[in-house]
Structure 1
Amino acid sequence: MTESAEVADAAGYRPLLFSIAYGMTGSVGDAEDLVQDAFLGLTRAHRAGTAINDPKAYLATSVTRLGINHLGSARVRRESYVGEWLPEPVVVCGDRPGPAEYVELADALSMAFLVLLEALSPVERAVFLLREAFGYGYPDVAGIVGKSEPNCRQIFARARKRIAAGTPVAGAAPPPGRRAEGDELARRFFEAAEGGDLETLLAMLAPDVVFHGDGGGKARAIGTSLTGLGRVARLLVGGLRRTRTFGVSARPARINGMPGAVMHDAEGRVAGVVALDLVDGAVRAIHSVSNPDKLGHLGPVSDVARLRERPAGDGAEG
């Protein structure tokens, strides 16, 4: 097989590679860059005469190690991040399925899971992600990260202990029936919130529900996470009532495999993304991303949520 044919054949691994890269970085753009760099490395290796018996393993190793290196600089940037950091949302809509990478990832990594991974070191994150989310065996994990198998077992055990509390299940998609139930709950949730139906909304929220908002200092968002059924419900009703004055509406979508919605303004531009984490038929956590820097991959971004467009003194970031 020629070099170009081998590289083209390896393109079928892109969904897996994108998922690994996104799991490492929490960024769609950075993940796409890492995958591209991994394929460039494969091309250079071929041209240098390097024998590659398993392109899939070669590329998975390359993109993981690139992710480990990337996290060193990313952590420095996140230390100065304004407000709470959330991953860039991966959105799959019924009428906009998106790239194959997005579709495969949608059933693998929830936003809550990615937030938990932030507590780990780059190597811990790689080991835990490969083992927990993608089901790699310890021999393969050891080869990818360049550690011994016993060491990887210790790293995984340490990582699991660090994020054990509240760790969501990652990997398999929910059964079709459960997914349909979640989508219906999300539909009723946004309908109640937009209509200001506080009583219905309270009945849908878990007692310990948590709201997470990411505006990055550039868009309206709460500065820190908000906990408590009543407080979260009032925040939702008030926030959605305000957005309606700017012609913003919610369109159902799956956000990182979870039910949610993409918020669009009257001109169809993306104003934000909201993902719901459901447990036992109730909303346990809400992740809202309004930072315009994290929405550009979804289409033209609205300016209705930017801080300069809003009055000050209402508890928003900045």
Structure 2
Amino acid sequence: MPGSADVTDAAGYRPLLFSIAYGVTGSVGDAEDIVQDAFLGLTRAHQAGTTIAAPKAYLATAVTRLGINHLTSARVRRETYVGSWLPEPVVVTTDRPGPAEHAELADSLSMAFLVLLEALSPIERAVFVLREVFAYDYPDLAQATGKSEANCRQIFARARRRIAADGRGTDSAPAPARRAEGAELARRFFEAADGGDLDGLLAMLAPDVVFTGDGGGKARATRHPVAEPHRVGQLFVGGIRRVRLLGATLRPAWVNGRPGAVTYDPDGRVVSVVELHIADGAIRAIHSVSNPDKLSHLGLVSDMARLAE
């Protein structure tokens, strides 16, 4: 069956397709569903006798448009979201590497970057992700989005202005040397927090550091971002102390390509995921996800942080 062979050969594009879908939606589960739907569309096209000259472009276009449609409806739900919204974390650890497409994504889309993208409309977000992260040229952008090249140029310029207005940049992937430095800083940070060393922890926080927690109204988390190093430090030290008293453990992990940690309860179930955004040798942002709906792709989720229904 030539059609089946073509679809099988196209499976190598999954890492790219997952990255596009995740960049547009900020959701691991939705991205996986969108990629699956795109492949189903390719299979149906082959079964109908349609010749697909460029499967990669066909699939990328399908994923982009499905992502835009999904995000348009998801935005309505996010308007009523309880507390701060963070993307579902992509976690890579030595004992749980996860799917290959997740690992390949890691250095491309940090939480800080994905949070910035929330300021964009669905079409702006798709254009910005394809251009900024995947270096799509304008003819390919036009094909993927169904817009004209001129329109894509305008959309990208508008999106870039809106992102730049935030003042925190686009958080490009760290070079290998900075990645190693970040890992070491994260190790010292979690060690200081675990030991209750507030002064040592404060020395690693940038003056403009911000802590953002996402419990989605279902798990314990700060409802609003917390700024100012001393407040962030106290919050983090207190949180580590509480989970330790409950028998939980922290394991280092790479979260969206940035150093972080996963908290597990005594039964090995996931409690929360923390990502550290490090720049210029200091921690500028801490993102913590405890919403159980955003952790289920990592395995069994603990009730430890869950709020009473």
Task: State the TM-score, normalizing by the size of structure 2.
Answer: 0.97
Structure-1 separation of matches of 2:32 and 2:241: 36
For 1:18-33, list aligned pairs within 5 A: 18-33=18-33
2: CA distance between counterparts of 1:234 and 1:110? 25
Task: Specify which of 171, 182, 196 is matched with residue 169 of structure 1.
Answer: 171
Residue equivalent to 2:299: 299
User: Residues 112 and 171 of structure 2 are in contact (CA less than 8 Å); yes or no, is this contact kept in structure 1?
Assistant: no
CA distance in structure 2 between the aligned counterparts of 1:10 and 1:168, rounded to whole angstroms? 30
Residue 174 (structure 1) shift = 2.4
- 1:20-169 alignment, distance < 5 Å: 20-164=20-164, 165-169=167-171
- Cα deviation for residue 95 of structure 1 reads 2.4
How far, CA to CA, are the matches of 2:192 and 2:170 in structure 1? 26
Hey, what's the Cα distance between the residues in 2 that align with 1:161 and 1:271? 37
Contact 2:64 2:145 (C-alpha < 8 Å) held by counterparts: yes
The CA distance in 2 between the partners of 1:169 and 1:253, in whole Å, is 19
What is the deviation of 1:123?
0.6
In 2, distance between residues paired with 1:207 and 1:47? 59
SS in 1 for 2:308: helix
- My pick for the range that moved more, 144-153 or 56-65, is 144-153
CA distance in 2, matches of 1:187, 1:100: 25
Deviations 1:253-284 (A, max 9, x none): 00000000001111111000000000111000
Distance in 2 (CA, whole Å) between partners of 1:96 and 1:220 is: 25
Counterpart in 1 of 2:210?
Answer: 210
User: CA–CA distance in 1 between the matches of 2:5 and 2:47?
Assistant: 13
Once residues 94 and 178 of structure 1 are traced to their aligned partners in structure 2, the CA distance between those partners, rounded to angstroms, is 20
The unaligned stretches of length 5 or more in structure 1 are 310-318
- Structure-1 separation of matches of 2:123 and 2:192: 43
2-side partners of 1:193 and 1:126: how far apart? Answer: 38
Alignment-derived partner of residue 275 in structure 1: 275
Aligned counterpart, 1:192: 192
Query: Aligned partners of 1:69, 1:14: CA distance in 2, in Å?
Result: 20
Across the aligned residues of Structure 1 and Structure 2, the Cα RMSD in angstroms comes to 1.1
Q: What secondary structure does 1:307 align onto?
A: coil
Task: Tell me which residue corresponds to 1:257.
Answer: 257
**Secondary structure of the corresponding residue to residue 278 of structure 1:** strand
Where structure 2 has 5 or more consecutive residues not aligned to the other structure, the ranges are none
CA distance in 2, matches of 1:308, 1:191: 31
Amino acid of the residue matched to residue 229 of structure 1? P
> C-alpha distance in 2, partners of 1:63/1:177?
33
- Whole-angstrom distance in 2 between the partners of 1:72 and 1:136: 22
- The code of the aligned residue for 1:36 comes to Q
Distance of 2:26 and 2:174 partners within structure 1? 22
Instruction: Report the more deviating stretch, 77-86 or 43-52.
Output: 43-52
Q: Alpha-carbon deviation of 1:237?
A: 0.8
Amino acid at match of 1:6: D
CA drift of 1:150 comes to: 1.1
Runs of 4 or more, structure 1, over 3 Å off, are none
Partners of 2:206 and 2:283 within 8 A in 1: yes
Distance 2:19 2:117 in 1: 14
The offset of 1:51, in angstroms, is 1.5
For 2:222, the equivalent position in structure 1 comes to 222
Aligned residue identity for 1:230: H
* Letter paired with 1:168: T
- Whichever residue aligns with residue 187 of structure 2, its letter is R
Q: Distance in 2 between matches of 1:195 and 1:308?
A: 30
Q: Report the alpha carbon displacement of residue 308 of structure 1 after superposing the two structures with TM.
A: 2.5
Alignment-mate amino acid for residue 167 of structure 1? G
Instruction: Name the CA distance, whole Å, in 2 between partners of 1:35 and 1:153.
Output: 26
SS in 2 for 1:268: coil
CA distance in structure 1 between the aligned counterparts of 2:248 and 2:193, rounded to whole angstroms: 13
In the alignment, the residues of structure 1 paired with residue 176 and residue 154 of structure 2 have an alpha-carbon distance, to the nearest angstrom, of 36
Shift of 1:29: 0.5
Residue type of the alignment partner of 1:185: L
Report the counterpart of residue 315 of structure 1 in structure 2: none
TM-score, scaled to structure 1? 0.95
Taking only the aligned residue pairs, the percentage that are identical comes to 74
How far does residue 307 in structure 1 lie from its aligned partner after superposition? 1.7
Alpha carbons 2:209, 2:228 under 8 Å: kept: yes
Query: Counterpart amino acid of 1:84?
Result: S
